[in-house]
Amino acid sequence: MVRIRLRFGKEIVGQPITSKVILEQKTQIRILTAHVNQEGGEIVAEVESTNAKKVIEAFRERGVTVDVRKLIEVDREKCTDCGACYSLCPVEGIAFQEDYQVDFNEEKCLGTTCGLCVNACPTRAIRLL
């Protein structure tokens, strides 16, 4: 699966772009989060890896800004396992191991589409790739 962020400008937000792309590309798009109003919108979604390139291009052809998720990187030497990142993660992508070491789950992480953990880290041990 490829995680993407779709950003719709004010001029196109009222158009049925997502449904058209789904029907034309004959693929499923799993919407993880969506924030849309008359001023614009943003959708974070997952697309099958085999269809991702065609789906991304179809959105871009319609004027949608598409960002492909990039993951976080943790500098284990700087990380103090304080848990500040854990408390903010909206998708439970961060957990504590039995030894209280912070564990980052790349499968759940929203990466660049979120980034809350980056700003929460007091030692700046987390960065977006």
Half-sphere exposure of 84 (CA within 13 A, CB side): 15
pLDDT of the residue at 123: 96
Show the domains of the chain with their CATH numbers: 2-68 (3.30.70.260), 72-128 (3.30.70.20)
The residues, any chain, with a CB within 8 Å of residue 127's CB and separated by 6 or more, are 72, 73, 75, 118
How far apart, in whole angstroms, are the C-alpha atoms of residue 53 and residue 56? 5
Residue 14: what are its φ and ψ, rounded to 5°? Answer: -85, -5
With a pLDDT cut of 90, the percent of the chain lying above it is: 63
How high is the mean pLDDT of the chain?
90
pLDDT of the residue at 61: 97
The residues, any chain, with a CB within 8 Å of residue 116's CB and separated by 6 or more, are 85, 88, 89, 90
With a pLDDT cut of 70, the percent of the chain lying above it is: 97
